[in-house]
Amino acid sequence: MKIPDGIPLECAAPILCAGITMYDPLRYWGATKGKKMTIGIVGIGGLGTMGIKLSKALGHDVIAVSTSANKEALAKEKGATHFCVSKDPESIKTHAGKCDIIINTVGANHDINTYMPLLGKSGVIVQLGLVLQPHTIYQVPLMFSRHCIAGTFIGGVKNTEEVLELCAKHKIWPDCEVIEADKIDWAWNQLTGEGGNKDGVRYIIDVKKSLAGAFVPK
């Protein structure tokens, strides 16, 4: 695939991963057709922040959903219209029935039923976070509101080219920090430590500088 002019090279690789992973379900479930929607993004990390940016660029309202109220400022900085704290029943109630599509990026074991009240009539929740533990689903809302639970996993070449063009047009970049290879352990700790990628940053290794420096791979 050709990287469009204007996309910083260090941002291209994350678009080929996080970008297409979030764009593909938006495209499949009709968010690129011009009709204004409300998109819920669950999990405000590297995937979630990219999902917010893409949904906003496509003209939609975005409800960012997180277990932590501390993510509100970050979510709104990236373009979220509203913020919902999933651990707060009143916050769930405030945003109930508003989402046409919810993209769930949570990769830890969790209760999917928490997010179902946010769906509007005939809404779909798309599972992206890879959770190995089975979900127990409360069936009644599925029946009375025609809700749908679906899954998706990255995307093909055509859709990847589309998201590259969309990102180039709107100057949508993943939040990236370029590091050298001697900071791999540090970057890993940023992603997996307490707070779990709290800034939604993608770490990009500059291989040329790493090889030219003192770092010797073990």
CA 94 to CA 184: how far, in whole Å?
41
Q: Confidence band (pLDDT; 50, 70, 90) for 1?
A: confident
Question: Could you write out the DSSP letters of every residue in 140-178?
Answer: HHHHHHT-EEEE-----HHHHHHHHHHHHHHT----EEE
Question: Could you write out the DSSP letters of every residue in 84-109?
Answer: EETT-HHHHHHTTT-EEEEEE---S-
Q: Encoding tokens for residue 143?
A: 């029946």
* Secondary structure of 1-25 in HEC code, one letter for each residue: CCCCCCCCHHHHHHHHHHHHHHHHH
For the segment 73-104, what is each residue's pLDDT rounded down to a tens digit?
999 999 999 999 999 999 999 999 999 999 99
* Better-predicted residue by pLDDT, 80 or 8: 80
- Is residue 154 left, alpha or beta, with left meaning phi > 0 and alpha meaning psi from -120 to 50? left
The domains found in the chain, sorted by start residue, are: 9-170 (3.40.50.720), 176-212 (no CATH)
